[in-house]
């Protein structure tokens, strides 16, 4: 959790990292619009982005705070359904209100708001786990997280208005409404922006003295309390922030797919998140990003194996736990493993003034 | 008239059927070093845990600077400037010494979640203040060189010093030390005695300590309270305690075999 000075000291000129991110953004949007990368590659890129948010958000609880949440998929479901229903009701003809409540074109401004509302509602559902965590820890809390996952999925399964177990669709029409105003690859753009925002927010939180209170719980909760850290408050922040980001990942996922059903957010989804967090390394933000990329690509590469891939991937997890239980990066960041990265940042920074 | 800093009134605590502390009364006067001793299992650490808020007393009151603090959460009590260390060192052993000191200033962060996300002026100002104060404290304790070390890689004696430094980052008026000499060699112990004396003068503290090593207790404490089975046996100066028949009986038995 070292601080890269280039990000900490913000100068009038843009730091290298910001420029690199802007360049990547321009490259992706440019290539998509020019038709160089096809729909399949686009969708893989988008899933990578969604998985980055999903695994990085799970890392707040499982990595930084040291609790074992295995119901993260539930919060993704909340975000997915809330933002899907909102976007369908607000921007398209639908079975609830008939006509769209707002002019469909307004989706180009309001789409991110809808996604964020999905995240906020998911954050509120995070209380399902946050409040028990005041009294409960470790394995017992892990069981509560599984229960929360089941509660959420079962609730959705039984709400007929959103399709129950058959699922809910119509989000593609909101995208169409946006494309009718200006034709842009909206999902790529928004996923990219939300990925960057999530990473920046997690980084800033975990590098602040405030956020380090979350890590202090992981190492010794008793001394955290004795040293004036309000541990209940920090748990609330960690769980709500984590589930809120999962909700945002869910909203984006729903809009990429154009269709959601409760089964997509079962304990399997939560397990995927766990695999990514443990592959990347607990408490390592760059590890989460790296493992989300590797994991998504691996899922795609193993697609021809069909169901067999669910033998192969868990097998790899077994090997990982046997031979490198701390994950690819352990508790470190990429810049710790490759000090050159840090040196580049520092040199550029000092030359900036 | 000396000012009472901490007042314990008729304190009783039961774990199920076991009475760990019973009817304890104690006053700690500003600027003194007082000791709490007693045989193993006498309830000393329970008293500390009651004062620092881990347990809510079954009966009785704890007043700090005249304010009733029993029933408050440990972090709320810490924020009222009571620092404490543990018998077995409880640093965050995988976070740097500097982070250990910084996190212990949570009680006066001065900014919230949003400020941290947006890195506002307020955030930067308070983070700088916390960082500067942490460095200053480490400097005073001659630990500056170790600021970026993990406590787990440091020798035991140094870890003790870091833990005391961390407790002092709460800017406490009362410092509670739970067996500070536990596990130290005899040369370390005499160093610790000077060290505690220095802390008291330098930070203008009142110190309350539990200790088994009589050398530490006798050379530092102006008053000593002896408890056994949660009850008070004697309170007095080192000399009085040493010669008290009840104390000798509690530690050694009554001489009949």
Contacts of B52 in chain A (CB under 8 A): 226
Q: Does position A353 have pLDDT exceeding 80, yes or no?
A: no
Q: Does position A65 have pLDDT exceeding 70, yes or no?
A: yes
Q: What is the pLDDT of residue B255?
A: 62
**ipTM at complex level:** 0.89
Residue A272 is encoded by which pair of tokens?
Answer: 């995927």
Q: What is the pLDDT of residue B47?
A: 93
Residue A63 is encoded by which pair of tokens?
Answer: 């990595």
What does the pLDDT look like over B194-209, one tens digit per residue? 999 999 999 999 999 9
Beta strand B206-210 with B33-37 is: parallel
Among all chains, which residue has been given the structure tokens 């077995």?
A: B88
Q: Does position B76 have pLDDT exceeding 90, yes or no?
A: yes
What's the whole-number mean pLDDT along residues A95-115? 85
The nearest CA of chain A is from the CA of B243 a distance in Å of 36
Q: What is the pLDDT of residue A36?
A: 83
- Rounded to whole angstroms, how far apart are CA atoms B75 and B44? 21
What's the whole-number mean pLDDT along residues A286-313? 87
What's the whole-number mean pLDDT along residues B58-80? 92
What's the whole-number mean pLDDT along residues B27-33? 92
Cα–Cα distances in Å, from B61 out to A25, A157, A249, B58, B175?
62, 53, 50, 9, 19
Q: Does position A34 have pLDDT exceeding 90, yes or no?
A: no
Q: Does position A350 have pLDDT exceeding 70, yes or no?
A: no
What does the pLDDT look like over A1-11, one tens digit per residue? 444 444 444 44
Q: What is the pLDDT of residue B257?
A: 54
The nearest CA of chain B is from the CA of A336 a distance in Å of 14
Percent of chain B with pLDDT over 70: 98
> What is the overall mean pLDDT for chain B?
90
Q: What is the pLDDT of residue A213?
A: 94
Contacts of A10 in chain B (CB under 8 A): 119
Q: What is the pLDDT of residue B58?
A: 92
What's the whole-number mean pLDDT along residues B167-175? 93
Residues 6+ away with beta carbon under 8 Å from A193: A112
- Rounded to whole angstroms, how far apart are CA atoms A224 and A218? 9
Contacts of B84 in chain A (CB under 8 A): 226
Ranges A7-11, A86-90, B66-70: which has the least confidence: A7-11
Residue A176 is encoded by which pair of tokens?
Answer: 């169409």
**With an 8 Å Cβ cutoff, is A224 touching chain B?**
yes
Radius of gyration in angstroms for the set of CA atoms belonging to chain A, rounded to a whole number = 20
> What is the overall mean pLDDT for chain A?
86
Nearest by Cα to B57 from B67, B47, B43 = B47
What does the pLDDT look like over B92-117, one tens digit per residue? 999 999 999 999 999 998 899 999 99
Nearest to B75 among A205, A210, A230 (CB): A230
Q: Does position B1 have pLDDT exceeding 90, yes or no?
A: no
Give burial (CB, 10 Å; 0-12/13-18/19+) of A167. middle
Q: Identify the structural domains of chain A with CATH numbers, from first to last.
A: 12-267 (1.10.3470)
What's the whole-number mean pLDDT along residues B218-238? 88
Contacts of B56 in chain A (CB under 8 A): none
């Amino acid at each position: 959790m070292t601080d890269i000075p280039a990000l900490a000291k913000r100068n009038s000129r843009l730091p290298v990292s910001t420029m690199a991110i802007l360049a990547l953004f321009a490259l992706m949007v440019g290539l998509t619009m020019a038709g160089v990368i096809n729909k399949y590659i686009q969708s893989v890129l988008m899933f990578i982005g969604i998985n980055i948010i999903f695994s990085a958000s799970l890392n707040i609880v499982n990595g930084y705070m040291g609790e074992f949440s295995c119901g993260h998929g539930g919060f993704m479901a909340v975000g997915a359904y809330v933002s899907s229903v909102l976007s369908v009701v607000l921007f398209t003809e639908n079975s609830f209100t008939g006509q769209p409540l707002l002019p469909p074109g307004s989706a180009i401004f309001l789409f991110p708001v809808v996604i964020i509302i999905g995240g906020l509602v998911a954050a509120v559902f995070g209380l399902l786990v946050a409040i028990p965590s005041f009294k409960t820890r470790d394995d017992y809390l892990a069981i509560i997280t599984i229960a929360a996952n089941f509660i959420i999925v079962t609730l959705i399964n039984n709400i007929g208005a959103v399709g129950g177990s058959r699922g809910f669709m119509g989000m593609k029409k909101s995208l169409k409404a946006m494309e009718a105003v200006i034709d842009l690859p909206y999902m790529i753009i928004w996923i990219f922006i939300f990925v960057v925002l999530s990473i920046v927010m997690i980084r800033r939180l975990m590098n602040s003295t405030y956020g380090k209170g979350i890590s202090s719980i992981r190492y010794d909760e008793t001394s955290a309390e004795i040293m004036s850290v309000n541990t209940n408050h920090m748990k609330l922040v960690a769980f709500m922030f984590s589930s809120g980001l999962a909700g945002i990942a869910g909203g984006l996922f729903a809009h990429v797919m154009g269709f959601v059903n409760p089964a997509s957010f079962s304990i399997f989804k939560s397990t995927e998140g766990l695999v990514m967090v443990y592959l990347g390394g607990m408490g390592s933000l760059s590890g989460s990003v790296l493992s989300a990329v590797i994991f998504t690509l691996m899922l795609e590469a193993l697609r021809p194996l069909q169901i067999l891939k669910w033998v192969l991937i868990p097998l790899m997890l077994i090997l990982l736990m046997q031979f490198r239980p701390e994950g690819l990066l352990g508790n470190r960041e990429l810049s710790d493993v490759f000090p050159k990265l840090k040196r580049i940042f520092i040199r550029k920074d000092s030359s900036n003034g | 008239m000396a000012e009472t800093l901490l007042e314990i009134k008729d304190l009783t605590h039961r774990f199920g059927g076991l009475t760990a502390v019973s009817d304890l009364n104690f006053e700690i006067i500003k600027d003194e070093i007082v000791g709490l001793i007693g045989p193993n299992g006498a309830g000393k650490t329970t008293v500390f845990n009651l004062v620092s808020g881990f347990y809510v007393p079954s009966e009785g009151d704890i007043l700090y600077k005249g304010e009733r603090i029993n029933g408050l959460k440990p972090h709320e009590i810490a924020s009222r400037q009571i620092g404490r260390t543990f018998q077995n060192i409880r640093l965050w052993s995988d976070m740097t010494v500097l982070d250990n000191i910084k996190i212990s200033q949570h009680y006066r962060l001065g900014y919230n979640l949003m400020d941290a996300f947006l890195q506002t002026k307020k955030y930067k100002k308070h983070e700088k203040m916390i960082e500067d104060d942490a460095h200053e404290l480490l400097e005073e304790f001659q630990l500056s060189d170790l600021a970026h070390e993990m406590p787990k890689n440091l020798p035991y004696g140094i870890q003790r010093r870091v833990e005391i430094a961390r407790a002092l980052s709460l800017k406490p008026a009362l410092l509670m030390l739970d067996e500070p000499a536990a596990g130290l060699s005899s040369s370390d112990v005499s160093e610790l005695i000077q060290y505690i004396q220095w802390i008291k003068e330098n930070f203008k503290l009142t110190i309350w300590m539990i200790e088994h090593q009589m050398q530490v207790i006798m050379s530092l404490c102006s008053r000593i309270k002896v408890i056994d089975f949660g009850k008070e046996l004697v309170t007095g100066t080192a000399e009085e305690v040493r010669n008290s028949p009840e104390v000798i009986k509690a530690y050694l038995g009554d001489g009949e075999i």
